[in-house]
């Protein structure tokens, strides 16, 4: 069965430190992959997406993610975290099954940033 795992429920980093949020998926083919961010009480904002091609994708707000087929991973990274990055981050897998454009979401990682 298709699934998305975000192993870290909570992550705390200091402002200016680097960040990596993990996402692993289970799917028989190369899926469409997304990272979204959600501030408290708000909707989800798309950070970046991977469909094909270059496995390192750049997104908004200085975020990037790398698709690693061999590890079934799509980890999100940022070199230097800002206090405004504190939010919840969701990884999602799309096109399941093909043609329905349905997503499966991970359970999210809540990021706390220390001043």
Partner 1 sequence: DGGITQSPKYLFRKEGQNVTLSCEQNLNHDAMYWYRQDPGQGLRLIYYSQIVNDFQKGDIAEGYSVSREKKESFPLTVTSAQKNPTAFYLCASRPGQQETQYFGPGTRLLVL
> Across-strand partners of 113?
13
Footprint (CB under 8 A) of partner 1, residues 63-102: 90, 94-95, 100-102
What Cα–Cα distance (Å) separates residue 11 from each residue in 2, 95, 104, 109?
Answer: 25, 29, 22, 7
Minimum CB–partner distance for residue 16 and partner 1 (Å):
29
User: Is the CB of 13 or the CB of 104 nearer to partner 1?
Assistant: 104
Minimum CB–partner distance for residue 34 and partner 1 (Å):
7
106 φ, ψ to 5°?
-75, 175
What Cα–Cα distance (Å) separates residue 94 from each residue in 15, 25, 39?
Answer: 32, 11, 22
Q: Quick check: 51 binds partner 1 (CB under 8 A)?
A: yes
Q: Quick check: 8 binds partner 1 (CB under 8 A)?
A: no
Minimum CB–partner distance for residue 46 and partner 1 (Å):
6
Place of tokens 């908004």: 60
Q: Quick check: 34 binds partner 1 (CB under 8 A)?
A: yes
Kindly indicate which of the ranges 20-28, 31-39, 57-65, 79-87 contains the residues binding partner 1, using the contact rule CB under 8 A. 31-39
Q: Determine which residue in the list 25, 65, 106, 113 makes contact with partner 1, applying CB under 8 A.
A: 106
Contact 90, 65 (CB under 8 A): no
């Amino acid at each position: 069965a298709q699934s998305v795992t975000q192993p870290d429920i909570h992550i705390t980093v200091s402002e200016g430190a680097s960040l990596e949020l993990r996402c692993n998926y289970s799917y028989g083919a190369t899926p469409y992959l997304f990272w979204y961010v959600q501030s408290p009480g708000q909707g989800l904002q798309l950070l970046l997406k991977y469909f094909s091609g270059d496995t390192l994708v750049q997104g908004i707000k200085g975020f990037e993610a790398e698709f690693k087929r061999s590890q079934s991973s799509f980890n999100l990274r940022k070199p230097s975290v800002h206090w405004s990055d504190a939010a919840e981050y969701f990884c999602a897998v799309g096109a399941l099954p093909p043609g329905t454009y349905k997503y499966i979401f991970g359970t999210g990682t809540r990021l706390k940033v220390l001043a």
